[in-house]
Amino acid sequence: MSEVGRGSTAVVWRVTDPRSGVDVALKWMVPDLVMDEAAVRMFSDEAAIASRVLHPNVARVLGTGAFEGAPFIVQDLVEGCSWAELSERAEAHGAPIPVGAHLGIAAQAAEGLHAAHETRDAGGKLLGIVHRDVKPQNILVGFDGRVRVVDFGIAAARDRSTRTATGTTKGTLAYLAPEQILSPRDIDRRVDLWSLAVVTWEALNRRRLFFDPNEGTTIWNVVHLPVPRIQAEGVPDAVRDVLDRCLTRDPSQRPASAAAVAEILESAAVELGYADHAALARVVADT
């Protein structure tokens, strides 16, 4: 048993499933929060929402339980790293990730988000899942070349038991869509398209877009800063265009779905030779 990740509400451990002998990821709530009923309900909601999303590009929930009074979620263990770590290591080695690889990662992430957005209940009704916290740390790239979207801890859904208080902003400021800041109760799947576009923009340009050490400035940037067109060499015009549309502050002008975005990104990745899992696997291994 070893720690593989830690956040404000939970610690992720690598453990061996005694029944199968396979290593899995066990996300265990920080024991100090057990007495916080709202935190426990949010954790339970995360498990319920994530377990409904069945897609190769979303980390699969294998089960839930409790240990020493603290709830946990068991998920597939992704052998690899986050998109953030991959980019950081590549920069540190002086060998930036190829444009095509970034587009291949973004395309798979978009597929995973679309699966979440389209998840339905037993009666065929959309659950209204919106991730709300798409950022490079929540997009994992495996040594197998497969991308998984993780952490539905603050995801919105129709049947979620906990609700965001009026005026409360959820998510990581630099990746939030403007409407998440200005009207956090009035959002839909299109906020995830904005966030994924910010992540992709930063990966391609190798710099931050809206982030500033001062939170107030970050908020101003998200709401007002003109978004520069991607300047990185080798990015197909179709990709520049779709990212521009995703980064439109009017949600009605963004693409209709993450699947539409994925199609364009994947086509570009194919053109550049990085659409298949084997090609991405080589990038992860080399980095």
Q: Catalytic residue among 76, 133, 151, 192, which?
A: 133
List the chain domain ranges: 2-76, 80-286
Question: For each of the chain's 287 residues, which pLDDT tens digit applies?
Answer: 788 888 878 999 999 988 888 999 999 998 888 889 889 998 999 999 999 999 999 999 999 999 888 999 999 999 999 999 999 999 999 999 999 999 999 999 999 999 999 999 999 999 999 999 999 999 999 999 999 999 998 999 987 765 554 445 567 999 999 999 998 888 999 999 999 999 999 999 999 999 999 999 999 999 999 999 998 999 999 999 999 999 999 999 999 999 999 999 999 999 999 989 999 999 999 99
Q: Are domains 2-76 and 80-286 of this chain identical in fold? A: no
The identity of residue 85, as a single letter, is: E
Q: Are 279 and 104 in contact (CB under 8 A)?
A: yes
| pLDDT for the residue numbered 167 | 45
Task: Report d(CA 234, CA 208) in Å as an integer.
Answer: 19
Task: Count the alpha carbons within 13 Å of 179 in the hemisphere toward its beta carbon.
Answer: 19
Q: Catalytic residue at 159? A: no
Task: Report d(CA 265, CA 112) in Å as an integer.
Answer: 13
Domain topology for 2-76: Phosphorylase Kinase; domain 1 (3.30.200)
Q: Kindly report the pTM of this predicted structure.
A: 0.93
Domain topology for 80-286: Transferase(Phosphotransferase); domain 1 (1.10.510)
Judged on CB neighbours under 10 Å (0-12, 13-18, 19+), 187 is buried
Task: Report d(CA 209, CA 280) in Å as an integer.
Answer: 25
